[in-house]
Structure 1
Amino acid sequence: MAARMNAAPRVLVIDDETQIRRFLDIGLRAQGYEVLLAANAAEGLAMAATRTPDLVILDIGLPDREGHDVLAELRQWSQVPVLMLSVRDSETEKVRALDAGANDYVTKPFGIQELMARLRVLLRQKAPDGAIASPVYDDGRLHIDFARREVSLDGQPLALTRKEYGVLAALIAHRGRVVTQQHLLRDLWGPTHVEDTHYLRIVVGKLRQKLGDDPASPVWLKTEAGVGYRFLGTG
């Protein structure tokens, strides 16, 4: 998507607490920001995909999905700066969010001036060419809408499990490059499963079956023996 020129920074707030959304809406607008408000994960991801925010403020405790899950999905197709909000103040919780791709973490309750200072830092660090990649992949046969988590092949909906979709999305996010088995296992199964390569082989095998992708002459999923996988598509 093209970057917006000469526009106020656009901040997307994803938080289910009405008072927090109102507090941030007033505070951000007073500082000259354009504000988008979402009360749940589904609404927030849709806005992130269609409204091109310059920064996302994301609450961890959402009613429909954990904020950690929202962050993981967002990172499949976007590098927009994300500031996590939570009442959980443990070091473990903060490290988990930062390791998963959050740019900063603020514990509730918070002061508006501190929050604004953190936002200014993140916006200064934001990539100049815009942070959001296309939320849709389409090569004429395989179509993926990342915002809706919908996959179709030759115009027909494709039913993928959560793990199958996660592997496919991760490979597309790094298209043309080898993604190691350990990287996929750590991101999709967790750090205690980095040696469980048989899990990954099973999921990739089922994914290939659903795509009709011949491993001997792949269109999309190429195995790099002993290392990992590479997505070949160019959509």
Structure 2
Amino acid sequence: MGGFFDRAIAHMETIAKILIVEWDTSSAETLWNEIRRMGHEPLAAFSVERAMMLIEQEPPQAILLRWKLPDASGLSLINDLRTHAATSRMPIIVLGEEDAGEDECIRALEAGADDYVRRPFGVRELVARIQVVLRPIEYRDVRRRVSVETLTMDFDARRAFARTSQDQDQPQAEVELQLGPTCYRLLRFFVENPYKVLSRKDIIDHVWFGSSVKEGIVDVYIKSLRETLEPLQNSLAIETVRGAGFRLSSVIDVPEAPALQAGQRAEKARRAPSQQPSQPGTSPIAHASRSHKRPAVDDRPRAGAPRNQTPVLVADLSAAVEKIRHLQTLLQRKTEENRLLRDAVEAVNPMSSGGALASARQKNKS
């Protein structure tokens, strides 16, 4: 343990090369002098092209990058650096414009910047931020590759992998998950806090850096992340904890996991109906009606009911009420027709069954 701290202190005491990418000579000179005062070696570039040349010749330990530059934006430089293994972990602090909004900060951090400072900024604040990104890697991020169940995240490469087989000795069964920047940060937040309930506010603070976004956007990205994690549906699931938030849990710990998986499959089938096989000569509507399971019906015989009585499945209560009213109207109409027919028969044949009964009653009265 002592050797580790000795190496860390020695690393902190070494001189670091810090590249300043700034087109304004006055600002560049101020940063240059401050870096020299810190005991480090400053480098300066006034364009993205010149910065790339210096990075290839003398790789710096950190970069102070102005967002707007003459030949390109700072975003393009961040993207180039993060796509190469040699510079994928190089600390970058973006120096934002005074009139920049929060969207610029979010774009910079999503692209891979380690920090963002908006002008005007205090020199002492900037120095503190530089010291943070210059900390040894052992201090900044000890856990660079983390696994939860069959999910593995490589924080260095900013990638995530799903092991579709439970067999640890089958690396060929590991597939990469396609994640956008926001979904990656969301999944990383879950992986860093497994089996823990995370509220929507917690998620907004860590994934959107506390920006004023609507809580509904969280549900949109949760749904997208669940679809991405479909290869892991037998081991991991994002559980909705009613009234509290969300939790990354093992499938065996999620009571509604089977229903959740069924819902995901139904949603996937709904989005791609053309991929579902259908019988020749069968209409799409008829095929769709058979593809959905009907709710279970209790068909056990009830007391006082015929054993061969078939239970009726009511899907629409209002339609059922309207049907009953229609049947009642028909019954009343038939009853009235039968009464008129009986009266007509009795008028034509007074000695019919009805007429004979009336005559007998008259005799009894007399």
- Shorter-chain TM range is 0.5 to 0.7
Q: 2:225 aligns with which of 204, 210, 219?
A: 204
Taking structure 1 as reference, are residues 205 and 16 closer, same or farther at Cα in structure 2, changes over 3 Å only?
A: same
TM-superposition CA deviations, 1:3-25 (whole Å, max 9, x none): 612432776757655898x8657
Higher helix share: 2
What residue in structure 2 maps to residue 159 of structure 1? 177
Taking structure 1 as reference, are residues 58 and 229 closer, same or farther at Cα in structure 2, changes over 3 Å only?
A: farther
Higher strand share: 1
Say whether residues 1:28 and 2:35 are aligned partners: yes
Could you tell me which amino acid in structure 1 is paired with residue 177 of structure 2?
A: A
CA distance in 1, matches of 2:154, 2:148: 12
TM-superposition CA deviations, 1:44-90 (whole Å, max 9, x none): xxxxxxx9x7x8745434142679xx9xxxxxxxxx9x85413x112
Percent sequence identity over matched residues? Answer: 12
Whether the 8 Å contact between 1:57 and 1:83 is mirrored in structure 2 is yes
Counterparts of residues 22-171 of structure 1 (less than 5 Å): 28-29=35-36, 31-33=38-40, 57-61=64-68, 62-64=74-76, 84-86=94-96, 88-90=97-99, 92=101, 102=115, 104-107=117-120, 115=123, 117-122=124-129, 130-138=139-147, 141-154=150-163, 155=171, 156-162=174-180, 163-171=182-190
CA distance in 2, matches of 1:12, 1:175: 38
Taking structure 1 as reference, are residues 138 and 213 closer, same or farther at Cα in structure 2, changes over 3 Å only?
A: same
Question: Higher relative contact order by CA 8 Å / sep ≥ 6: 1 or 2?
Answer: 1
Whether the 8 Å contact between 1:94 and 1:105 is mirrored in structure 2 is no
TM-score (norm 2): 0.38
Give 1:152 shift. 1.8
Return 5+ residue gaps in structure 2 as ranges: 52-58, 69-73, 83-90, 164-170, 251-366
Taking structure 1 as reference, are residues 33 and 60 closer, same or farther at Cα in structure 2, changes over 3 Å only?
A: same
TM-superposition CA deviations, 1:164-193 (whole Å, max 9, x none): 323212212334532223443574596343
Whether the 8 Å contact between 2:196 and 2:247 is mirrored in structure 1 is yes
Name the SS of the counterpart of 1:191 in structure 2: coil
Q: 2:212 aligns with which of 191, 210, 230?
A: 191
CA distance in 1, matches of 2:227, 2:43: 39
Alpha-carbon RMSD across the aligned residues, in angstroms, is: 5.2
Whether the 8 Å contact between 2:239 and 2:247 is mirrored in structure 1 is yes
Q: Which has the larger radius of gyration?
A: 2
CA distance in 1, matches of 2:139, 2:194: 19
Taking structure 1 as reference, are residues 11 and 133 closer, same or farther at Cα in structure 2, changes over 3 Å only?
A: farther
CA distance in 2, matches of 1:105, 1:134: 30
TM-superposition CA deviations, 1:199-218 (whole Å, max 9, x none): 134223213313x234xxx5
